[in-house]
Amino acid sequence: MNSGVHVFTSVTSNYIPKARVLAESVKQVDSSVCFHLLLSDDPPAGFDLASEPFDKLILVESLPIDNFKQWVFSHRLVELCTAVKGTALEWIFEKYEAEKVFYFDPDMAVFSRLDELIRELNSSSILLTPHQTEPETTHKGIIDNEMCSLRHGVFNLGFVGVANTGEGRRFARWWRDRLLHFCHDDHARSLFTDQKWVNLAPCMFDEVKVLRSPAFNVATWNLSTRKATGSLDGGILINGEDLGFYHFSGFDSGAQERQLKEYGAHSPVLFDLRNWYIEACKQHGQLELGAIPSKFSFYDDGQPILDEHRILYRERLDLRQTFSDPFVIKGDQEGHLSGGYKAWYEAHKVEVESDVMTVVPGTPIGAFLLNVGDYLTSRASAAHNTSLIKKLALNLIASCLRGFARLSS
């Protein structure tokens, strides 16, 4: 095994079938790379690493993340699987002294040219693939694809390659820190999980290589400018180049099929590729595992955690301090506040939903001031119909409150 080159993907257990397809595709192209499965979940029944196409299993609990239970609870599942990527990247560099690390989304498959990606990291430290590499030529294409990139990020972070160089590690640490604190699907704050942060990468880091080959990260959002020819058996070409890797994004929602019909009708082989992927996932347990829920989807009494529970908890410092383990129902670690965070939320639901600030009794004054400051900042950011003067006033008050909080701590 080539201990210098590592590949990883990040999933909950319901995505293990897709991750198996990805890992097998990588191994078929280059069996020497070390493939890591990063799992933010419990392994499913019968999971045996020795019989899997993965070389290593990384459980999310093993990563160096402070206040782990609070941090996990604060993320929806898609946010969680992306938020851990930067920490895992740094962890693989540190633990295995990896020379080059590649991340692929689990809903990808690699067909060729992995050696080309590895060589690119000989002269660059960061490899990125844009959502689009050619201008759209229709009004609809601009709206569907180019404007989508403006909303969700210029680069698709279903793929990133990083070398263990000074600049590569500087990027990895920066990305890790941003994702630990700000990996949220929050359009009001101009965030879309991990992607939009990397819009800044070419501005902040040297040795960034943007891969413009049409054969890398092929997906429905760029098919309007990419034509596929060839066959599954003989090899697929994209604009005349060997297909590197394909991104089957949108399968679960049905968007992949709709967009493929819209933008890939000129490439019949891509429908054969779609059918191959469906069958490959089935063979790797999609029907058995595809619908199983994550352990982080529930409180410890089995009740589901709603998105609004998570969002309020991550925005309220006083709640995080009061309920150190928000998954717990019977009480916190000191044995009081029976019912835990869930009971508190239900008791204050009317106040929360009417957007009234409430504070758990006994909150330290410094935490209270920080909490109010965070609240005012979020209101200023989310208030689309509020005057600029009011937004500036809210931000100024928030800044003053944070200053008082530091003085009182």
More confident residue, 135 or 125: 125
More confident residue, 74 or 188: 74
User: Domain map of the chain by residue range?
Assistant: 5-288, 295-408
The pLDDT, as a whole number, for residue 293 is 93
DSSP 8-state symbol, 44 = P
CATH number attached to the domain at 5-288: 3.90.550.10
Q: In whole angstroms, what is the distance from residue 72 CA to residue 326 CA?
A: 10
The pLDDT, as a whole number, for residue 371 is 55
Of 70-74, 90-94, 193-197, 347-351, which range is least confident? 347-351
Per-residue pLDDT tens over the stretch 135-159: 988 888 889 888 888 888 899 999 9
Confidence at 397, pLDDT banded by 50, 70, 90: confident
DSSP 8-state symbol, 130 = B
- CA-CA-CA-CA torsion sign (100, 158, 37, 28): negative
* Contact (CB, 8 A) for 103 and 89: yes
Tokens of 368: 């209270």
Tokens 């959002």 sit at which residue?
Answer: 221
Cα 19 off chain centre by: 15
Mean pLDDT of all residues in 346-374: 57
Q: In whole angstroms, what is the distance from residue 103 CA to residue 157 CA?
A: 8
Q: In whole angstroms, what is the distance from residue 114 CA to residue 211 CA?
A: 13
- For residue 196, give every residue at least 6 positions away whose Cβ sits within 8 Å of its Cβ, in sequence order, or none: 152, 153, 190
Tokens of 120: 């690119």
Task: List 236's β-bridge partners, or say none.
Answer: 230
The pLDDT, as a whole number, for residue 91 is 96
Average predicted confidence (pLDDT) for the chain: 87
**Residue percentage of the chain with pLDDT more than 70:** 84
Of 22-26, 53-57, 179-183, 213-217, which range is least confident? 179-183
* Contact (CB, 8 A) for 294 and 73: no
- For residue 32, give every residue at least 6 positions away whose Cβ sits within 8 Å of its Cβ, in sequence order, or none: 1, 2, 5
Mean pLDDT of all residues in 340-348: 88
Per-residue pLDDT tens over the stretch 239-284: 999 999 999 998 878 888 888 998 999 999 999 999 999 999 999 9
* Contact (CB, 8 A) for 172 and 90: yes
